[in-house]
Homo-oligomer: A and B are copies of this chain.
Amino acid sequence: MPISIVIDRSAAAPLYQQIAEQIKEQIAAGKLMTGARLPTVRQLADDLGVTRLTIQSAYGELQAGGWIEATVGRGTFVSQQPRRPLRAAAGTPPTAVHVIGDILQLSESSGIRSLGKASPDPALFPAEEFWAVLGQLLPHSAELAGYGSAQGDPALRLAFAENVRERGIDATPADILITAGVTQGLALTAQSLAQPGDTVLVEQPTYIGFLHQLRSYGLNPIAVPMDDQGVQPEMLERIAIQTRARFLYTISTYHNPTGCCAPVERRRQLLEIAHRVGFKIVEDDIYAALALDAPPPPAIKSLDRNGSVVYLSSLSKSFMPGLRIGFLIAPQPLLERLTSLRMATDLVSPLLLQRTAAELLKSGCLRRHLRRVIPLYRARRDALLAALALHLPNEVTFTQPTGGLSCWLTLPRRPGLQDLPRQMVEAGWAVAPGEVLWADHDGDLHLRLSYGCCRRIR
């Protein structure tokens, strides 16, 4: 049985994972063929000088991923249909949950140059400064070991209240709920504003995680078409009235995935329609700090005089997704309902990370970080757009993002092109397949290309 595994005890990855990864690679490379028998747990443990739990864990991981199958009394075999490292890129049509799983896990180590995740570049993360702040919090360990306020750390709520003044929003810490990223804020908001069976309006295309949430909570997404200024007002009004939608979810500032930004006049129109027809606007402002050309227009929330808007943002795009720190601003009594539901969901966010984020905001670290990275993201966007203009035929169209991290391609309908995302992964470039970003797919082939992590575009 031609299986060769090298383990590195000094590496960060646990041994079982190193073993599982190497077996996956050998299956993917065709070195281990379908039906090949793997060594027994005891045998491989002895060969590699590791415990049996390590091998059981590696085989368990491979089994859960569909790479191998165990048959009682016969042994463990390579499965008939080995899965690709990126499940979304396999032969079957991608599903939201698989694409999200792949995006979460994409890392430099996999040898794939990623255009697939709309995330900041982890190599630019100001690690020294972040760890220095963490270290300074040691004297507060007894307080930080506990839970803290259900609404979130007051110091962090104050820091966000000061931060959103840049977006034209006048809020106090009492108006803010700390959340585990915008994703949790959206989950709480969707569950609080709508009941299973209700309709929710989304941009077409939109954030894949939100579509996954709507399906998980039994809500029906209805797409509203966009033009180059965002959601089309006439269509919004007509569809909202027809569907009795509870709210519109919008990323009006550097929209994901198109990079489009709604001008202030369009924002006023959306707000006026929402107030007149009687639905809420859920404004995801997560990309606003990543303005690559001019400053962004004010948030829709800043124009709201009727309590129509729930505003959400986080540090995941401007700073570090792994921090899992975001917030929302909502009018009372909705904020109280959201806080109660957050307590039911998972009580609170880790106080240590909340306080660290508060210190980073207060000390100006975030502001300095943005001043440093924005020129780099601008250069990466420019390089990507130049490369697309140079290399792509005219029949492929793409957006011109003025902020955020993504560009949106539309390809002509032509036989064979459907397989492009998978071919790109095989050539070493991860991209997000467009069809999972649609509530109601139009049948065209789209790709989202995210330039944030892409250091070498020619």
Chain A residues within 8 Å of B, Cβ to Cβ: 12-14, 16-17, 53, 56-57, 59-61, 63-64, 97, 100-101, 103-105, 107-109, 119, 122-123, 125, 127-128, 130-131, 134-135, 138, 140-150, 154-155, 158, 161-162, 172-175, 179-181, 183-184, 187, 196, 209, 212-213, 216-217, 320-324, 332, 340-341, 343-353
Contacts and interface: CB of A to CB of B under 8 A. Distances in A.
Given A53-B162, A56-B172, A105-B147, 5 more contacts: A60-B174, A104-B343, A107-B146, A187-B346, A216-B344
Interface centre among A14, A97, A122, A138 (most CB of B within 10 A): A14
Nearest to A162: B53
Interface of A is mostly: helix
Contact of A187 (B162, B322, B344): B344
Contacts of A353: 350, 352-353
A47 to B, nearest CB: 19
A322 B104 contact: no
B14 A144 contact: no
Contacts of A217: 344
A16 B145 contact: no
28 contacts: A12-B155, A14-B155, A57-B161, A57-B174, A60-B174, A61-B173, A100-B150, A104-B147, A104-B150, A107-B146, A119-B146, A125-B141, A127-B141, A127-B142, A128-B138, A131-B141, A145-B321, A145-B322, A146-B321, A181-B347, A209-B343, A209-B347, A212-B340, A212-B343, A216-B344, A322-B352, A323-B352, A352-B353
Contacts of A345: 183-184, 187, 345-346
Contacts of A184: 345-346
Top 8 A-B pairs ranked by shortest CB distance?
A60-B172, A127-B141, A60-B174, A64-B174, A216-B344, A184-B346, A180-B346, A104-B147
B104 A348 contact: yes
Nearest to A17: B154
Contacts of A97: 340, 343
A417 to B, nearest CB: 29
A340 B138 CA distance: 35
Contact of A60 (B56, B131, B175): B175
A324 B344 contact: no
Contacts of A56: 172
Contacts of A14: 154-155, 158
A174 B61 contact: yes
Given A172-B56, A320-B145, A16 B158 contact: yes
